Amino acid sequence: MSLRDSRLKLRSEVFVVTDNIFITILCALLASAGFWGFFTKFLDKKSAKSKMLLGLGHDRIMYLGMKYIEKGQITQNEYENLYKYLYKPYKDLGGNGTVDRMMREIDKLKIVSDPY
């Protein structure tokens, strides 16, 4: 066996060992409790943010809905803003039926032209 062949063989063995070490470290990381603890904590924070957004959206839709119902009318711009910027995103986040009932009541209101 020549010197060149032995060097090539040594290099290929080093790559195999390096690959095995990398795969072992990767598997240990994925199997570790610390990694999954961090990952689930990250998901919980996102979940908390989604819940907060849902709560704020619900509160705002209900508040505005009650104000429009008290007035007995709603302008076209008010309705479009309520629907497009609050109700639709709220429903996309998984909002509940309370807001649906409020929107059905708002849909019954007289739509008036904007004063401006």
Average pLDDT, whole number, for the chain? 82
pLDDT of 114 reads: 84
pLDDT of 5 reads: 61
State percent of the chain over pLDDT 90.
47
Rounded Cα gap, residues 31 and 28, in angstroms:
5
What is this structure's pTM? 0.61
Residues 6+ apart with CB under 8 A from 61: 82, 86, 87, 90, 99, 102, 103
The predicted-structure confidence for 54-97, as pLDDT tens digits, reads as follows 999 999 999 999 999 999 999 999 999 999 999 999 998 888 88
* Secondary structure of 16-45 in HEC code, one letter for each residue: HHHHHHHHHHHHHHHHCHHHHHHHHHHHHH
Domain residue spans of the chain: 48-112
pLDDT of 22 reads: 72
Q: What is the band of 6 on the pLDDT scale with cuts at 50, 70, 90?
A: low
